[in-house]
Each structure stands twice: as C-alpha cells, then as structure tokens.
Amino acid sequence: MRIPFIAGNWKMNKSIDEARQLVSELLPLLKDIKTAEIAVCPPFVSLTSVKSLLLGSAVKLGTQNIHDQEKGAFTGEVAPGMLAGWVDYAILGHSERRQIFGESDAFINRKVLAALKHGMTPILCIGETLEENEAGQTETVLERQVRAGVADISATDAPRLVVAYEPIWAIGTGRAATADDAQTRCAFVRACLRAQLGDAADTIRVQYGGSVSAANAAEILSKPDIDGALVGGASLKAADFAAICRAAGA
C-alpha cells in the first residue's frame, strides 16, 4: 500500500515573507487531509522559517536541490549535511537543473546517494523532452535516467526513494499528459525500477508532474501506478494546492 504523496515545488518564487504567508494560508486548508502525505519545497532562504511554521502539522518540508559534496569550495551551493535533520525530502534532477544548469545523470545519482546518507528522501525527477517524445524515444530516455539515477542505492534505502515522472513538455505549459498516458509512463518507470531494485519497486512512490491542476488532479491520481504529484505552478496558490492534495486523499 503506497501512501499518495503530493509535493509542491515552489521553484524560485516567494520571498521569505511571502513563503510564510503561503504556508499560513495553506495549513488550515490541509489539516483535515489524513490519507495523503504532503510536502512543500520552498527556496533555500525560506526553509528555516517555513520549518518553524510547519512544526505541529503533518506537512513535510523539502529542498529543491543539494550538492553532492560534504563541504568545500563550491560557492553558492548547499551541502547535504547542512540540511540533515531539517528537511524530509530533496527534489533532485529536476529538468530545470538538468537543462539550465547542465546536471548530468552521474551528478544527480551522487546527489541521490548523498540525500539518502543524510536522512533525506530523494524525489528523483526524470522525463523526456518534446523532441524525444515525438521521436519515440521516451522509454529509452526514462530507462537511462532511472538506471543512472538509482545506481548504487542499497536494498535498505531503495524503498524510501520517490521518483517523479515529469515530461518536460508538460512542465509549466498548461498541457498535462492525459491520465492514461501518465499511467502508462509511470507503470514503465516502475518496471525500470523493478529491473534495477527488485521488489522495492512495489514500495517506491512514482509521482506524475507537469501542469497538474485542481481540475485534472483527481483523474490523474486515480491511476494505479501514479502515487502522487509533483506540483509546480499550482503549488503557489493555497486553494489550488489544497484542492490537489484533497484529490489525493480526503
């Protein structure tokens, strides 16, 4: 039994004050939702103040990135150990990190291992571009990203992993995958996880991400291999994010 998991990726949005405001609006709307796990992932600068507002609630905290090294001359980066004990989740390998900042599969894998080592649950993001999709390469891309992303994860850690399938053409475009297509891809991702990690694939939650909204969440989340959603734009509005969370678990 996989507990549905909804995570809000705020990306580079919200000042510290705005982050506090959003969480204050969100918490009363989420407090009756018992059957889904929920996390918010604000920018680094707001993690501590958001954390203090979340104390006493069931809502979890996530970071949008970490570096793979323990410390050193990496100006502007944040080491995994700095967040250990503070955040529950780490979004890793988001397509914006892959495409804009040139993160490789190998670098993302080192971050995944570092997150696990420091007690954070990685949300490993994977997904194909529009060109890859149209060229019929989606499965090849997903298989490669899963295989590389989960390399060297121990059998003990494997069940903790979360994978977010996010077709890049659906992110921020308002054009979500159909629920049936999302189900097909998430089932394929689970098959890839099974090939790499064995029966842990039954426990690992596979989220769908890409223009999830209050209007389409219920249908997408009703699919058997979709265990939640990674939500970008709609996570910036309390009412919309709460509606998506409610669709995952009343």
Instruction: Tell whether residue 63 is a contact of ligand PEP (CB under 6 A).
Output: no
Instruction: Tell whether residue 209 is a contact of ligand PEP (CB under 6 A).
Output: yes
Residues binding ligand PEP: number (CB under 6 A) = 13
CB proximity list for 35: less than 8 A, separation 6 or greater: 3, 4, 248, 249, 250
Q: Which of 121, 133, 211, 216 binds ligand PEP (CB under 6 A)?
A: 211
Instruction: Tell whether residue 9 is a contact of ligand PEP (CB under 6 A).
Output: yes
Q: Residue 185 is encoded by which pair of tokens?
A: 């891809």
Q: Which of 53, 212, 220, 221 binds ligand PEP (CB under 6 A)?
A: 212
Amino acid at 167: P
Give me the active site residues, please.
Answer: 94, 166
Binding mask 159-178 for ligand PEP (x = CB under 6 A): -------x----xx------
Binding mask 120-159 for ligand PEP (x = CB under 6 A): ----------------------------------------
Q: Which of 42, 93, 122, 233 binds ligand PEP (CB under 6 A)?
A: 233
Least separation, in Å, of the C-beta of 243 and ligand PEP? 14
Least separation, in Å, of the C-beta of 201 and ligand PEP? 22
Instruction: Tell whether residue 85 is a contact of ligand PEP (CB under 6 A).
Output: no
Instruction: Tell whether residue 210 is a contact of ligand PEP (CB under 6 A).
Output: yes
Contacts to ligand PEP by CB under 6 A: 9, 166, 171-172, 209-212, 230-234
